[in-house]
Amino acid sequence: MSNYDGIDRDEVKAMSQESRRDLNADVITGEPGSHPIGTGIGGVGGAAAGAAIGSVAGPLGTLIGGAIGAIVGGGAGHAAAEAIDPTREEAYWRAEYANADYYKADYEFDRDLHPAYAVGYANRARYPVGARFEDHETDLRRSWDEVKGDSRLAWEDARLASRDAWNRVS
């Protein structure tokens, strides 16, 4: 049931294409008031603004700031399912990384692993629901090369942590 002027979602789906356009009905759900172009433009603008703000903290800040900016810019209602909380994700992985199969005692969380986890969780919102890590690994590896900083991990090692973080926020 839609709350848009008391119109039921099924009623919207039964309307002519012209009438649905007048309501800005979502093409998939039939929900009136959809603004996919505005959401997309807001997402891109928000990503740019977030990345610029995050740049103060270096490449990793740019990555995380861009992801958050895309979510906020896209509109909270449309992106709620995609939202990540980087503070919560960092705390989770800080507590859990020592339990991972790829854990090595000589790796430091902040220096080596946090950037790898961030590549996974911060980039996840850029791709459609249901997207697989492996299908976008080339882009994620490029992101790793941009944000790894002083990490001693090669992509072959970092990808395991990135994939775990990607899967956790999926």
Tens digits of residue pLDDT in 121-130: 999 988 999 9
Give this prediction's pTM.
0.57
Q: What pLDDT score does 7 carry? A: 55
Q: Which amino acid is at 146?
A: E
CA–CA separation, 44 vs 92, rounded Å? 28
Angle, helix 59-74 to helix 36-54, in steps of 10 degrees: 150
Q: What pLDDT score does 113 carry? A: 97
Q: What pLDDT score does 47 carry? A: 52
Domain assignments of the chain as residue spans, ordered by start: 84-170
Average pLDDT over residues 129-154: 96
Tokens of 38: 């505005």
Q: What pLDDT score does 125 carry? A: 87
Average pLDDT over residues 19-27: 50
Tens digits of residue pLDDT in 58-117: 667 767 766 656 555 544 434 444 568 899 999 999 999 999 999 999 999 999 999 999
On the question of pLDDT at 15 being above 70, the answer is no
For 57-66, which contacts have Cβ atoms below 8 Å and span 24 or more sequence positions?
Answer: 58/149, 59/146, 59/147, 59/148, 59/149, 60/114, 60/115, 60/118, 60/147, 60/149, 62/147, 63/118, 63/119, 63/122, 63/123, 63/143, 63/146, 63/147, 64/118, 64/122, 66/122
Q: What pLDDT score does 3 carry? A: 41
On the question of pLDDT at 6 being above 80, the answer is no
Q: What pLDDT score does 99 carry? A: 96
